[in-house]
């Protein structure tokens, strides 16, 4: 395999993994009764509409049909992609949910 083909394959795999990360984020939001678009916008208020998030949101399952995704798993996946701002917002949302559940 030549260098260009290898580079293209790496980019292709990265994009696939990034799409999985976005889907995990969107499903976690649905599972926790959060709007993924609003949550994303808190992290990136100046960013235009995210087409990849729109695509992922269409693939999410209703909360009752989906597997539970732990906040730790989501934070780890976001961290792998350097999505620190989004991880911060997710952590804030999670902390708020935990506080509300203790009341």
Q: What is the tally of structural domains in the chain?
A: 1
What tokens were used for 52?
A: 């990849």
Domain of 28, in residue numbers: 3-102
Neighbours of 18 (CB within 10 A): 14
- DSSP code of 11? H
Q: How far apart, in Å, do the first and last CA atoms of the chain sit?
A: 59
pTM value? Answer: 0.90
Residue located via tokens 């911060």 = 88
What pLDDT shows up at residue 88?
97
pLDDT of residue 103: 66
User: What pLDDT digit, counting tens, does each position of 34-92 carry?
Assistant: 999 999 999 999 998 899 999 999 999 999 999 999 999 999 999 999 999 999 999 99
Give the whole-angstrom CA distance, residue 102 versus residue 25: 24
pLDDT over 90 at 102, yes or no = no
């Amino acid at each position: 395999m030549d260098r260009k083909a290898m580079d293209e394959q790496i980019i292709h795999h990265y994009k696939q993994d990034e799409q999985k990360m976005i889907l995990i984020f969107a499903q976690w939001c649905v599972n926790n009764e959060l709007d993924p678009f609003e949550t994303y916008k808190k992290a990136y208020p100046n960013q235009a509409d995210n087409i990849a998030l729109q695509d992922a949101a269409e693939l999410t399952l209703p909360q009752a049909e989906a597997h539970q995704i732990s906040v730790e798993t989501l934070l780890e996946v976001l961290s792998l992609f350097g999505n620190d701002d989004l991880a911060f917002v997710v952590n804030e949302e999670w902390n708020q949910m935990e506080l509300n559940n203790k009341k």
